[in-house]
Amino acid sequence: MLKINKYVDINTLDKEAKKDYIDRHSAFIDCATEAKKDEMFAVTVRVGDEYPHPDDFDHYISYVQLFNGQTLLAQANFEPGAVFGAGKAGNLKVTFNVVAAKNLNLTAVAYCTKHGLWESDSVKVEVK
Amino acid sequence: MLKINKYVDINTLDKEAKKDYIDRHSAFIDCATEAKKDEMFAVTVRVGDEYPHPDDFDHYISYVQLFNGQTLLAQANFEPGAVFGAGKAGNLKVTFNVVAAKNLNLTAVAYCTKHGLWESDSVKVEVK
Amino acid sequence: MLKINKYVDINTLDKEAKKDYIDRHSAFIDCATEAKKDEMFAVTVRVGDEYPHPDDFDHYISYVQLFNGQTLLAQANFEPGAVFGAGKAGNLKVTFNVVAAKNLNLTAVAYCTKHGLWESDSVKVEVK
Amino acid sequence: MLKINKYVDINTLDKEAKKDYIDRHSAFIDCATEAKKDEMFAVTVRVGDEYPHPDDFDHYISYVQLFNGQTLLAQANFEPGAVFGAGKAGNLKVTFNVVAAKNLNLTAVAYCTKHGLWESDSVKVEVK
């Protein structure tokens, strides 16, 4: 059975290694909380906040997905070592743009080739 | 929060509409239960068993994924109306081939553009 | 044999319908011409400039790819009607971020489900 | 500018290294030359014929695409080392199934993370 890791606030964690592990895999959605109807609205999906994730050939973020409710909007796939370079690390980010007709409830998923699926907290966007 | 629909045996369901809904979205893995080490091993991912799923432009199976444990092996993406034709329906299937060095624990995921994510039962394969 | 449509400056074209057709499918790369070594560098892939492309279920931009030389960096896939809404139109854009160690020679590809593959002009980025 | 390598019959080549290089990257379509209208029709995309391609983390076949004319039917993405295992090699294959209403003109594309894009010869299928 697939395990979808959910976001955990690393301030609630004791051990440094665990903070690092959880943080560098966590998916985040960065966007405004309001969007104008029928105008382009930028939504950035980011992986990791304080701790960088490797971009090694055998350990990298292979894809991120952006959902609205249970509906997939977009998926971005990355090649190993293509974003930061093999042997390096960082916080991957990709900015999608959508035109919303109705309120959004966005969720992102990130997939690490070693540590599986990670789901962000959901973000509500009011469309006016 | 994402909902991952899990396999339900439709014989346990009463209503015909529900049987249809559940069955046509369910992901199945068809493969042998044993594989020979270092030999090509075919794994078919199929969506729906007794009931066909539409391939309409606004309602189709957009992708299937094949996981071994929590590790993604492959993802196949389909274009709307490309598999059966818009206005038609059927049971999508795609056959991947892997060479296994160790026992496998396979799980498939199917994504319907209207009804979200569906996870198959897992299938264990002994590698000899 | 696959046809990869190449960028054509629409100012060289006579007919309005042709300008519209060519422009709305053309892929563009928007980024700085210089990047700092080991710093995050934003690269936007955009489809269409003056004319919007439909986001209809049977006619939409299904994916864009970003290459460095002949090497794929990333591919973003979109669902029909998910970016602008079915019945609407616009200029899709997605922003990738890469950390470059060496000079880049970027090319984008866009795929329209009715009108096939479109390759952007290449953009050189000097990494200092 | 992107280079799409086209199929070359390796019997026309002199050097063993060149035969190996060309063959192991070449995409092939294996399918019947006739399909029955409205019946499932299997199309296998295969990479390499006599020479195996590595499945190393930094050198593998990342995706294959199947086109009908200029229209994409499906794309299968693979993770590094997931098909044959890192350090091993083989001829990747994936079998799609389509229901054709009209004659098909199929072309496959394979992408190698080190050696770029490779386009198969096209295969015509008569639909009766």
Query: What ipTM is given for this predicted complex?
Result: 0.96
Residue D38 C-alpha from the chain's centroid: 25
Q: How does pLDDT run across D80-123, given as a tens digit for each residue?
A: 999 999 999 999 999 999 999 999 999 999 999 999 999 999 99
Give the residue from chain D lying closest to A57, CA to CA: D57
Chain D nearest-CA distance from C62, in A, is: 9
Give the residue from chain A lying closest to B70, CA to CA: A116
Q: Which DSSP symbol is given to B12?
A: G
Query: pLDDT at position A1, please?
Result: 87
Put simply, the answer to whether C58 touches B62 (Cβ < 8 Å) is no
Q: How would you write the pLDDT of chain B (128 residues) with one tens digit per residue?
A: 899 999 999 999 999 999 999 999 999 999 999 999 999 999 999 999 999 999 998 999 999 999 999 999 999 999 999 999 999 999 999 999 999 999 999 999 999 999 999 999 999 999 99
Q: Which DSSP symbol is given to B122?
A: P
Q: How does pLDDT run across C54-75, given as a tens digit for each residue?
A: 999 899 999 999 999 999 999 9
Task: Give the Å distances, CA to CA, from B66 to A87, B4, B6, B107, D64.
Answer: 28, 15, 15, 6, 16
Q: How does pLDDT run across A98-116, given as a tens digit for each residue?
A: 999 999 999 999 999 999 9
Chain C nearest-CA distance from D14, in A, is: 26
Query: pLDDT at position A116, please?
Result: 97
Query: pLDDT at position A109, please?
Result: 98
- Check if the beta carbon of residue A28 is closer than 8 Å to that of residue A108: yes
Q: Per DSSP, what are the bridge partners of residue D19?
A: none
Residue C31 C-alpha from the chain's centroid: 12
Q: How does pLDDT run across C79-117, given as a tens digit for each residue?
A: 999 999 999 999 999 999 999 999 999 999 999 999 999
Q: How far is the C-alpha of B43 from the C-alpha of B30, rounded, in Å?
A: 6
Point out the residue among D2, D6, D109 whose CB comes nearest to the CB of C119.
D2
In terms of DSSP bridges, do strands A40-47 and A71-78 run parallel, antiparallel, or are they unpaired?
unpaired
- Check if the beta carbon of residue A53 is closer than 8 Å to that of residue A61: yes
- Check if the beta carbon of residue C27 is closer than 8 Å to that of residue C51: no
Q: How far is the C-alpha of A66 from the C-alpha of C76, rounded, in Å?
A: 11
- Check if the beta carbon of residue A98 is closer than 8 Å to that of residue C87: no
Query: pLDDT at position A80, please?
Result: 93
What average pLDDT does the segment A12-27 reach? 96
Q: A114: which chain D residues are within 8 Å (Cβ-Cβ)?
A: none
Q: How far is the C-alpha of B110 from the C-alpha of B107, rounded, in Å?
A: 10
Put simply, the answer to whether C70 touches D115 (Cβ < 8 Å) is yes
Query: pLDDT at position B92, please?
Result: 97
Nearest alpha-carbon partner for A93 in D18, C34, C98, C73: C98
Q: Considering Cα of C118, then C124, then C125, then C127, what sign does the dihedral take?
A: positive
Long-range contact pairs involving A24-28 (C-beta distance under 8 Å, separation at least 24): A24/A48, A24/A51, A24/A52, A24/A53, A24/A89, A24/A91, A25/A53, A25/A110, A25/A112, A25/A115, A25/A118, A26/A110, A26/A118, A26/A120, A27/A64, A27/A108, A27/A109, A27/A110, A27/A118, A27/A119, A27/A120, A28/A108, A28/A120, A28/A121
What average pLDDT does the segment A62-69 reach? 98
Residue D37 has pLDDT above 90, yes or no: yes
When the pLDDT of each residue in chain C is averaged and rounded to a whole number, the result is: 96
Chain D nearest-CA distance from B30, in A, is: 13
For testing contact with chain C, the best of A61, A64, A95, A127 (most C CBs within 10 A): A95
Query: pLDDT at position A48, please?
Result: 97
Residue A13 has pLDDT above 90, yes or no: yes
What average pLDDT does the segment A9-33 reach? 96
Query: pLDDT at position D61, please?
Result: 97
Q: Which DSSP symbol is given to B25?
A: H
Q: How far is the C-alpha of D102 from the C-alpha of D104, rounded, in Å?
A: 6
CB neighbour list of residue B92: distance below 8 Å, 6 or more residues apart: B46, B47, B48, B53, B55, B61, B64, B78, B83, B84, B110, D97
